[in-house]
Amino acid sequence: MSGFNLVQFVWDRSALQANEDVAVNAVYVRGITNNLPDIFQIDDVRRQEFVDDVKDWHNAIKEFISSKCKLRELRFYDVPDTAGTDMGDPKLIVPLDLAGTGGGLPLPPQLSISVTFRTAERKRWGRMYLPCPTSTWLNANARLEQSACTAIANATTFLTSRAQTGCALTVWSRVKWQHFDPVTIQVDDIYDVIRRRRFSQPTFRAQVQAS
């Protein structure tokens, strides 16, 4: 067992286009017990408690994600005690079927909503990118509506709260091989571009003779 896990959020986008690859968020969590400062070993009980937190979080943000995108599974990996060691196989894979409920048109898949985890050290901030935003929350100036920013930031406290037992999201430094707990959750109104999430192939291509 380890006091830290890497958790992959695997998003299914096949409803946007058949055989489209998944979108993946990777975050780190640490074992917690009701605000105590020590690092607690993560077992399947603590992992399942984090899964419950993710379900609450998704329920609060699902209106900002297209109904053509669903959170398909969570994959937990132990973080080794020392750098340079392979994490190995997942310690737990939890299948889910949590679809977004967002109305409107899905925006191009390379657009995402950025959630920043600000720590006490500026160089140790973390970030995750929510996939499949929709036109409903796109304002007249091509920005994310302010009310959506606030709602997503508030919802993300389900993942970062340390006033419970289970796991809480933290920021992991692969340089220092240590964690930094978030102090502030920040959601900007600027959409981020994740190029690798663009459609893998066109479904139509117009070609005409140039002369």
Per-residue pLDDT tens over the stretch 109-140: 999 999 999 999 988 999 999 999 999 999 99
Q: Does residue 205 form part of some domain?
A: no
Q: Does residue 211 form part of some domain?
A: no
Q: State the virtual CA torsion across 130, 98, 45, 26 in degrees, nearest 10.
A: -20
At residue 39, the pLDDT reads 81
Q: Give, rounded to a whole angstrom, the gap between the first and last alpha carbons of the chain.
A: 67
- What is the average pLDDT across 187-197? 95
Both structure tokens of 136? 């409903």
Residues 129 and 116: beta-carbon distance below 8 Å: no
Q: Does residue 167 form part of some domain?
A: yes
Q: Does residue 139 form part of some domain?
A: yes
Q: Does residue 209 form part of some domain?
A: no
Q: Does residue 8 form part of some domain?
A: yes
To the nearest whole number, what is the mean pLDDT of the chain?
94
**Mind listing the pLDDT tens digit for each residue in 28-45?**
999 998 877 778 899 999
Q: Does residue 9 form part of some domain?
A: yes
At residue 5, the pLDDT reads 96
Q: Does residue 120 form part of some domain?
A: yes
Number of domains making up the chain: 1
At residue 1, the pLDDT reads 65
Task: Give the structural domain span for 48.
Answer: 4-197
Other beta carbons within 10 Å of 69: 27
Q: What DSSP letter does each residue of 50-89 carry, written as one string?
A: HHHHHHHHHHHHGGGSBTT-EEEEEEEEEPPSSTT----S
Percent of the chain, pLDDT > 70?
Answer: 100
> Which residue has 């340089």 as its token pair?
175
Other beta carbons within 10 Å of 68: 19
